[in-house]
Amino acid sequence: MTQPLRVGVVGAGRVGAVLAAALRGAGHEIVAAAGESDASRGRIAALLPGTPVAKPSAVARGCDLLLLTVPDDSLPNVVAVLAASGALREGQYVVHTSGRHGLDVLAPAAELGARVAAMHPAMTFTGTEVDLDRLAGCVFGLTADVRERPLAEALVADLGGRPMWVPEQMRTLYHAGLAHGANHLVTLVAEAMEMLSAAGADDPAGTLRPLLSAALDNALAQGDAALTGPIVRGDVGTVEAHLADLVANAPQTLGSYLALARATLARAVTDGRLLPIRAARIREALDAATPVAHPATGTGAGLS
């Protein structure tokens, strides 16, 4: 454990409340937390019982380590306001948990002599005690100057995580990779369940679970080599049948099916598993599917 610090949290959302609870469990003192919504105050009460709720400026003034866990778009303004109000000081640690931002967003704090770092947990949070056990082994995307690196790594160790150093100029790409893999996966799975429901499945989640679990494990271990299915096999007729049935029964999913099918096709050709002549026929089938306005949803769906 690092030397115990007096920690203040601004933004008691799903991430902030959980990280603060984990730091408290590691021996740090949570001196105050800022949270405006009922949900945030409920998380403070549940995960940080006894912790005073205060305004952001008061939280910042009373701590050695200020943990900023506000949304990405709010972070620049929060830092600027705290710096302008005199709430930040020389030698104080100011750490944010944004995936997108690095150190530039903390420039107002650094100009006052604060020691700054970015520490983003690569995990989805529920904002409950369930997340505390999930932190074990979680990767944290870190960006910090040389002087602050030991503290950043020590905090990650206290949280039970693993450090991954991300260059300042690569923060957005790092975050895009996580969002594409996790957030878009949720959309993909939800649409797959909609298709199965339309096909009559009474338990679409249970139907998909073993297939998706195996596919995810294989993809993480093997990359493109894990690809299976009609596109890799060159089954044009099956792809055409998919498109026709999606238009008839699940038109809201057509757009993502086309986008991912095209991406899968390109990867299958690149790694040599699909001959160009077969790829051309599948591409023609995909190109023939033209999104049109769907009266029920207002979203694009249909075949030309």
HEC string for 191-243: HHHHHHHHCCCCCHHHHHHHHHHHHHHHHHHHHHHHCCCHHHHCCHHHHHHHH
How many whole angstroms separate alpha carbon 43 and alpha carbon 246? 42
Tokens of 131: 């997340």
Q: Tell me, what amino acid is at 297?
A: T
How many whole angstroms separate alpha carbon 13 and alpha carbon 127? 7
How many whole angstroms separate alpha carbon 164 and alpha carbon 68? 19
How remote is the C-alpha of 293 from its chain's centroid?
Answer: 31
How many whole angstroms separate alpha carbon 108 and alpha carbon 5? 22
Contact criterion met (CB below 8 Å) for 10 and 68: yes
Q: For residue 70, count other CB atoms closer than 10 A to its CB.
A: 22
Tokens of 230: 């009609």
Tokens of 257: 């099916």
How many whole angstroms separate alpha carbon 210 and alpha carbon 167? 37
User: What is the model's pLDDT at position 183?
Assistant: 93
User: What is the model's pLDDT at position 61?
Assistant: 97
Q: Tell the residue number behind the tokens 């007729």, with chain if given.
A: 237
User: What is the model's pLDDT at position 36?
Assistant: 86
Along the 304 residues of the chain, how does pLDDT read in single tens digits? 568 999 999 999 999 999 999 999 999 999 999 998 999 999 999 999 999 999 999 999 999 999 999 999 999 999 999 999 999 999 999 999 999 999 999 999 999 999 999 999 999 999 999 999 999 999 999 999 999 999 999 999 999 999 999 999 999 999 999 999 999 999 999 999 999 999 999 999 999 999 999 999 999 999 999 999 999 999 999 999 999 999 999 999 999 999 999 999 999 999 899 999 999 999 999 999 966 544 444 544 444 3
User: What is the model's pLDDT at position 221?
Assistant: 97
CA distances from residue 67 to 11, 94, 257 in whole angstroms, order as listed? 8, 6, 40
CA dihedral 162, 167, 169, 175 (to 10 degrees): -10
Q: Tell me, what amino acid is at 269?
A: V
Q: Helix, strand or coil for residue 178?
A: helix
Give me the count of residues in the chain: 304
pTM, whole model, 2 decimals?
A: 0.86
According to DSSP, the β-strands at 139-144 and 300-301 are: unpaired
User: What is the model's pLDDT at position 298?
Assistant: 52
Q: What is the DSSP letter of 51?
A: P
Mean pLDDT of the chain: 93
User: What is the model's pLDDT at position 292?
Assistant: 52
